[in-house]
Amino acid sequence: MDQKNNQRSRGGSRGAAPSRRPGGRDTRMSSAYEAGMKFALDNGFKRPMTAAVEPRRRPSGGGASRGGPRRDSGSSSSRGGYSRDAGRGADRGGSRGGSRGGGRGFQEMHVDLAKLVNKAQPHEEVEAYVPTHAFADFAIDERLKDNIIAKGYITPTPIQDQSIPHVLLGKDIVGMANTGTGKTAAFLIPLIDKVLKFRAIGTDERVLIMVPTRELAIQIEAEFFGFAKGLQLSSVTCVGGANITPQIRLLQRKPSFVIGTPGRLKDLMERRDLDLSKFGTVVLDEADRMLDMGFIDDMRFIMSTMRAERHTLFFSATMSREIQALIGAFLNDPVSVSVKTRETSHTIEQDVVRVPHAQKFEKLVELLSTPGFDKVLVFGRTKHGVERLAKDLRHRGIKSDSIHGNKTHGARQKALTAFKRGEASVLTATDVAARGLDISGVSHVINYDLPSTYEDYTHRIGRTGRAGQAGMALTFIP
């Protein structure tokens, strides 16, 4: 790798303070941004749709903070919440006068009602994708093929069909795909095969998989165990909120796969318990979400410590300016794979519920008591708000639990398990639950508070109407 590429791979994570253009714009990544922009334009990528979104800051008189990166998506502050009566006024979820407030630096989603109302069409004819490969066609280890078959995989999804051949050839990938399209298998299958092939020639190849949330990391590890059964490959999941000591112990065994969130990975590196200098392969999954959650500096730091000549797989649901900059900084002559589908599933019926701010809680109780609301995800804006919402629902006799960034790793898993098993019929959540989780049978998604962007809205409601089943998404509007 020449000096230019070596400098590029480090992405400017260290060194002098960035220069500024007139108006204060950071130009440190300008060359990387231009490279990423060229890649995006050459491959027909466009910026995410913003027709329904006009982010606006809380008015300065409302005590907004100047911010800092957010570590829990959708949870800008632990003080915001919902209101059960007008006197308490804790819920700033309404948009009276076009402003929501509620949480430090929170950006509201300006509502285009036309994009929040849609009749489900579960029998809509969708042109079937015809794959060019079967899993049996891929030049991968036969034992791995047996595990794929054992998991019931026969025909690749579009992202798998188009990505796996390139990954097997060692090419960098930029994959643009919605959640739930099979991205995990698209990178795990060829990378497990890669590690096995390197092992056969006496080389220790190691893989880093970086993801935005603990839940997604755990889900990926579960998939890994299924594909790697009997192959003598090990992994460790490194996420915050869980005891770090067992993670350190597993890292000392030099597992082939390290799956983690940026914050915990950086902590382990600073403790000198994780050395990435020998890692030759990295996956950045849901990179746009990591940016949204404020992990950009951690991502740059982590990538700067890896080998300059590396194999990089980059997956994102959107193509923003920052994503273009990361492509230019982190990848080398990548292949583009885009299987983006329609923004919201045709199986999801969407509607708005007009309800005065002070009556939101009572309206929610009324809905949850209606037949058919069997397994409901309720999204709120803040950690404190969704915790209190679950507690007050329980006081009204509705079996509820919550998931948010203030909960420990074990508590979050316990809440998810209870919801999946039907022990809790309602799960209140911040946007941490909107991506990466595959929860079957969700009958309804209720947006108790509006998200900050339309992208977050689509990911929230994507938790229902899965696997061809009908679902309903309701959004509270004052």
- pLDDT tens, residue order, the chain (478 aa): 444 444 444 444 444 444 444 444 344 445 555 666 666 666 655 444 433 333 433 443 433 333 344 344 333 333 334 444 333 333 333 333 333 333 444 455 665 666 676 665 554 455 667 788 899 889 999 999 999 999 989 889 899 999 999 999 999 999 987 766 789 999 999 999 999 999 999 999 999 999 998 889 999 999 999 999 999 999 999 998 889 999 999 999 999 999 999 999 999 999 999 999 989 999 999 898 898 888 989 999 999 999 888 999 999 887 778 888 889 888 999 999 988 555 455 678 889 999 998 999 999 999 999 999 999 999 998 999 999 999 999 999 999 999 988 888 788 889 988 999 999 999 999 987 656 566 888 999 999 998 887 778 887 888 887 766 778 899 998 8
* Same-domain check for residues 223 and 323: yes
- Residue 331 domain-assigned (yes or no): yes
How far apart CA 184 and CA 222 sit, in angstroms, is 11
- Whether residue 187 is contained in a domain is answered as yes
State the Cα–Cα distance between residues 37 and 289, nearest whole angstrom. 19
Report yes or no: 445 and 373 within 8 Å, Cβ to Cβ: no
The CA distance from 426 to 416, in Å, is 10
Is 212 contained in some domain?
Answer: yes
Domain stops at, among 288, 305, 338? 338
DSSP H helical segments within 345-438, as ranges? Answer: 360-368, 383-395, 409-421
**In terms of domains, do 197 and 274 share one?**
yes
Q: 365 and 257 in one domain? A: no
State which H helix or E strand residue 314 sits in.
strand 311-316
Q: How far apart are CA 262 and CA 13, in angstroms?
A: 14
Same domain as 299, residue 433: no
Q: Which amino acid is at 156?
A: P
CA–CA dist 209, 179 (Å, integer): 17
Last residue of a domain, one of 278, 308, 338: 338
At 444 the pLDDT is: 93
Q: Are residues 329 and 276 located together in one domain of the fold?
A: yes
- 164 lies in the same domain as 272: yes
Clarify whether residues 294 and 437 are in a common domain. Answer: no
Establish if 367 belongs to a structural domain. yes
Is the same domain home to 183 and 305?
A: yes
Query: What does the alpha-carbon distance between residue 450 and residue 379 come to, in Å, rounded to a whole number?
Result: 8
Cβ(416)–Cβ(435) below 8 Å: no
Token pair listed for 75:
């949870």
pLDDT at 148: 96
Q: Looking at the structure, tell me whether residues 317 and 457 fall in a common domain.
A: no
> Which residues is 351 bridged to in the sheet?
474
Dihedral sign (CA 6, 11, 16, 22): positive
Rounded-to-integer distance, Cα 91 and Cα 386, Å: 11
Give the three-class secondary structure for 468: coil
Which of 309, 338, 367 is the last residue before a domain boundary? 338
Asked whether residue 354 is domain-assigned, the answer is yes
Residues 291 and 327 in one domain: yes
d(CA 404, CA 386): 8
Task: Tell me the C-alpha distance between 465 and 346, whole Å.
Answer: 8
On the CB side of 413, how many CA atoms lie within 13 Å of its CA?
13
Buried b (16+ CB within 10 A) or exposed e, 362-400: ebbeebbeeeebebbbbbbbbbbbbbbbbebbeeeebeb
- pLDDT the model gives residue 223: 95
- Residue 355 in tokens: 């309800």
Tokens standing for 130? 């015809």
What is the secondary structure of 149-204 as a DSSP string? HHTT--S--HHHHHHHHHHHTT--EEEE--TTSSHHHHHHHHHHHHHHHHHHTT--
Tokens, residue 344: 């919201």
CA–CA gap between residue 363 and residue 369 (Å, rounded)? 10
Q: At 24, give phi and psi (nearest 5°).
A: 90, 10
Helix count (H) and strand count (E) of the chain?
15, 13
Q: Containing domain of residue 406, as a range?
A: 96-122+346-477
The count of domains in the chain is: 2
So what's the pLDDT on residue 41?
62
* 41 lies in some domain: yes
Q: Does some domain include residue 22?
A: no
300 and 382 housed in the same domain: no
Residue 447 lies in a domain: yes
Q: What's 301's domain CATH number?
A: 3.40.50.300
Q: Which own/partner contact pairs does 258-261 have at CB distance under 8 Å and 24+ positions apart?
A: 258/206, 258/207, 258/208, 258/209, 259/209, 259/211, 259/217, 259/220, 259/221, 259/224, 259/235, 260/208, 260/209, 260/210, 260/211, 260/217, 261/210, 261/211, 261/212, 261/213, 261/214, 261/217, 261/295
- Are residues 170 and 118 located together in one domain of the fold? no
